[in-house]
Structure 1
Amino acid sequence: MAEREVEPAEALGALYANYRVSLTNTAQQALLAHGIPESVISAEDLVQNAFAKVLRHPASVEYPVSYLRVVIRTEAANRARQQARHNGLEAVRPIRCASTPCSPRMWPRWWPTAVPSSRPWRL
């Protein structure tokens, strides 16, 4: 007996049921990282928009959960740019410093501009 082929909408429904909480947490983290208040867009709206985008071309998505997370993060970044443009401000990107020092333009104004080569600064 042949197995019944699962429709893309049914598969996405199962994904929504299984990963809704996790994807909503991802959306909340993305909104917080970009400083977007809930009054602009909610985390649930981001998740629903991501699923709507996947429904447009469900067959082309190989790893749907990963794709949904990328769509959610991208949508949050786009909303942050829109909000910044709306407020007349330039979008601020988070500072990401690993073990290497950040570039001098990211240092606070009180930070010394000339760093002695014998004592490298560790941030």
Structure 2
Amino acid sequence: MARLNAEYGPSQLVAYPHITRFSGTYTTTIPLLNSEQVLTFKRDTLTIVDEFTGTHSYHYLATMQSESEGILELTEIASGDPSEIPIQYVEEADCLVLYSMGREKPGVTYCK
């Protein structure tokens, strides 16, 4: 389970903005639906599995503006449709917060 900046040693500084890759599986439970949603990052691909909407695959690029704030650029593999989602990375918990409705609305937290 690699953390966000796993490729850097503790003494190395990371300049921002910084392009990074996530890896592994992050999950959340959607309270109103009592269903699980799973994000799986592998190389440049993000697969989202949702009990209600099914499986969607994207090519992604994560550009971190700081250690914890960034933008997830997505291109849906099936349709080619692009989108951008603001994200927050919480390193101490190894969690991602996705703000699919924008930062003005509460985000959804996914953890390993």
Query: Going by fraction, where is helix more abundant, 1 or 2?
Result: 1
Query: Going by fraction, where is strand more abundant, 1 or 2?
Result: 2
TM range (shorter): under 0.3
